Structure 1
Amino acid sequence: MPPSLRHLIPDLAPMPARERLRAAVGALVGILATGLIGRAALGPSSALPALIAPMGASAVLLFAVPASPLAQPWSILGGNLIASLVGVTVGRLVPDPALAAALAIGVAIALMAALRCLHPPSGAVALTAVLGGSAIHDLGYGFVVWPVGANSVLLLAAALLFNNLTGRTYPHRPAQVPRDHGTADPAPSTRTGFSSADLDAVLAEYGQVLDIGRGDLEAILRRAELRSYRRRSGGTTCADVMSRDVVAVAPGASLHEALDLLRRHRIKVLPVTDERAQVLGIVTQTDLLDKAVWDRGGPRIGLARRLALTLSRGRAPYGCVEDIMTTAVETVRPETTVAEVVLRMADAGLHHLPVVDRWGNLAGIVSQSDLVAALLAEAAEEPEPEQARLPALAATPA
């Protein structure tokens, strides 16, 4: 293709074959379910359409790009309902079809943009309300309820089920933001490189709507930044710096035993493992302070937490490590690079990360001290920049 024509082809990221198949099957299932349910609800003799054409365009968004802001539930429901209301109203007030169609599309886009429910197929909904013929015109504002409202709800329900069953979280959740520590300081990962304010300023200067959420865009850019750093930095991994002789505790150990281990080894965290060394949770000094009550005998499970655990588990707690451990444990693998661990620990406010092998068994633990030592070692091994050596060479006597 001539270079002058290449800009006519969209610069889309490659779509894996599995994702293409998933999108195609999802659209097939969604449209088929919407049409069959609509036909069953109306009955064979109904003059109402069971399915309208704009739902095909909605299916492309809901199943092929479910992470798009244009494909979220409020986008399809709000966009289609607003567009159908505008289309019916303009069709009744403006006798000329061409002018009515143009006004309906323009007004619908303005309202959808203002109400943050921009959905491209809704333009076709507004057009259908104006140019759909006598069968659509006779429905009046009933067109908003059926088929537009009913079709939108049915297709959305199909998208909710299919996307989540096939591994795509829907509605899409924006990328996790760094933990807020309740201070004015920005997250550690944003203190170097670009900041969130930089991104907002650039987006404002760009001045166009992007088919990607702002949070996802920032997450992609930060991952690219991390990948660039990893490529330019050394290849130090967790296996190179982690502590291998890890002090762990069993879930059935008493709170006193956990406290004794923390004090005796002068550590701040204990991985909780079973007899096969599988990581079940983690206990920190904070867990002992926040989830236990203290008296002269030491830590114990308080009445409020005892009742909460009894209700959630269906049995009384035993006053052991299992009753206070954190079970949502973030782990890393031995081959994870130090650069990636730094970012994960900094933004999550973590001080230690258990290292597990491919079977989920505890292999070691990485602390902030390990990372500092590794980064200092990498910095010491970096060759001196050529520009920095030139003055020294020039000053050296011949």
Structure 2
Amino acid sequence: MEPLRAGFGALLGLGLVGQFILSPTVDLTDGLYLVAPLGATSVLLFAVPNSPLAQPWSAIVGNTVAALVAVSVCMVVSDPVARIALSVGLAVFATIGCRAVHPPAGAVAMTAAMSPDAMERLGFWFALAPIATGTIALVLVAIAYARITGRRYPFRQFDDPHSKESGDTDPAERLGLSEQDLTDILERYRQSFNLGVKDLARLIGAAEVQVATQQAGPLTAADIMSRNLTTVRLTTPLGDVADLFKRHRFTSLPVIDSDARFLGVIFQIHLIGRARDDALRLDRGFAPALRRLVDRARGRPVLAGDIMSATGPRAVATTPLSVLLAMMGDRDVDAVPVLDCGKLIGIVTRTDLIAAMARRIARTPSG
């Protein structure tokens, strides 16, 4: 799926840029046109969006600075070999100096240096259009596409706020290592251009979870999941859903059809969120909005299918504990349904995970 995601993203990005922003021609007589380096930029933006080389500053500033350097060289150097070599070399120097290393910038410089006549006509306008204009457009498409497909772009910085808007870092990144410690590791292994500090923290955290899981034993979803489930249907009124939450102290309820096929899940936060939206929309208090939401006597009662989530992670019986931990650690997920050919056979909650880990720890002989 990842090659399909990246390939379709590049297709969409260049398609939109070429169709609505730029005139898709390689003739360097126009002011707006697609050039080959934008294709290389698309590879980074859509295939490796977490790379430091693909971030908006690197892409936009790198390509633009390289174009400015190459146009300047074209104005003073006539020998083609010297012009090309000097343009690319100075572009590399300038982009590193601007902390905007972006490999396609070298191709931008070379494209300009190989077209001295066009550069003489266009001058520094070449850096603005198509280079800066096209790169900015691709970056905007990449940002939107990453959000739609569940990726992070631009990548998060080490001091970005916690997903819950608290002062803490995300759980997977609480390593006991400072930002400087992680930066030193990247510098020591010469990986600072390939990996961000935030991503290194997440990788180390994931490795620690994997080690802990292996030490706890080869547990799978089938070993720890809850099997005797309380479920609801698409047509179950929210009043009944609220009663089940209250009676059983559940935090989630799976939604299935008559053949036990999994359709989605309702979390308590879905009820709270819907009531809050209604309170704001109807200009009334939260409590009256919640009572109205679960009222079975209203003209058209709200049903489970109206608020359930049909997306989110899913597992099978053989899914390892390490994968389940990652699913719940990296996302706002309290429960993961376990499916067999689309049918619901169990559910793994955070309580199940904690209980399983506690049992393993209790059985492990102390050193």
* 1:300 maps to amino acid: R
Aligned to 1:84: 67
Flag structure 2 segments of 5+ consecutive residues without an equivalent.
Answer: 276-285
Q: Offset of 1:328 from its aligned partner? A: 3.6
Structure 2 counterpart SS, 1:287: helix
Query: What does residue 382 of structure 1 align with?
Result: 364
- Given the superposition, is the C-alpha separation of residues 277 and 376 from structure 1 closer, same or farther in structure 2, using an over 3 Å criterion? same
Query: Displacement of 1:234 after TM fit?
Result: 0.5
Which of residues 17, 22, 38 is equivalent to 2:25? Answer: 38
Q: C-alpha displacement at 1:95, in angstroms?
A: 8.3
Which structure has the larger Rg over C-alpha atoms?
1
Q: How many residues align?
A: 340
- Quote the Cα distance in structure 2 between the aligned partners of 1:151 and 1:188: 38
Q: Any idea what the Cα deviations from partners look like across 1:325-376, whole Å, max 9, x if unmatched?
A: 34443333322233443343244354x4132224232211223332232112
SS in 2 for 1:299: helix
Does structure 2 retain, via aligned residues, the 8 Å contact 1:90–1:100?
A: yes
Q: 2:336 aligns with which of 334, 347, 354?
A: 354
CA contact (8 A) 1:288 1:299 kept: no
The CA distance in 2 between the partners of 1:319 and 1:51, in whole Å, is: 51
Match of 1:300 in 2: 292
Residue 210 and residue 180 in structure 1: after superposition, are their counterparts in 2 closer, same or farther (change >3 A)? same
Partner residue, 1:370: 352
Measure the CA separation in 2 of the matches of 1:187 and 1:52. Answer: 41
Secondary structure at the residue paired with 2:266?
strand
1:238–1:196 Cα change, 3 Å? farther
- 1:183-332 correspondence to structure 2 within 5 Å: 183-191=166-174, 198-203=181-186, 209-292=192-275, 293-295=286-288, 299-301=291-293, 318-332=301-315
Residue 342 (structure 1) aligned with residue 329 (structure 2): no
Deviates more, 1:230-239 or 1:195-204: 195-204
Q: TM-score, normalised by structure 2?
A: 0.67
The percent identity for this pair of structures is 34
Distance 2:86 2:263 in 1: 61
Secondary structure in 2 matching 1:362: strand
Change in CA separation of 1:101 and 1:232 when aligned onto 2, cut-off 3 Å: same
Structure 1, unmatched stretches of 5+, are 1-17, 307-315, 389-398
Matched AA of 1:223 = A
Equivalent position of 2:280 in the other structure: none
Report how far residue 246 of structure 1 moved. Answer: 0.7
* Structure-1-length-normalised TM-score: 0.63
Distance verdict in 2 for CA 1:110–1:299, change over 3 Å: farther
How far, CA to CA, are the matches of 1:231 and 1:205 in structure 2? Answer: 29
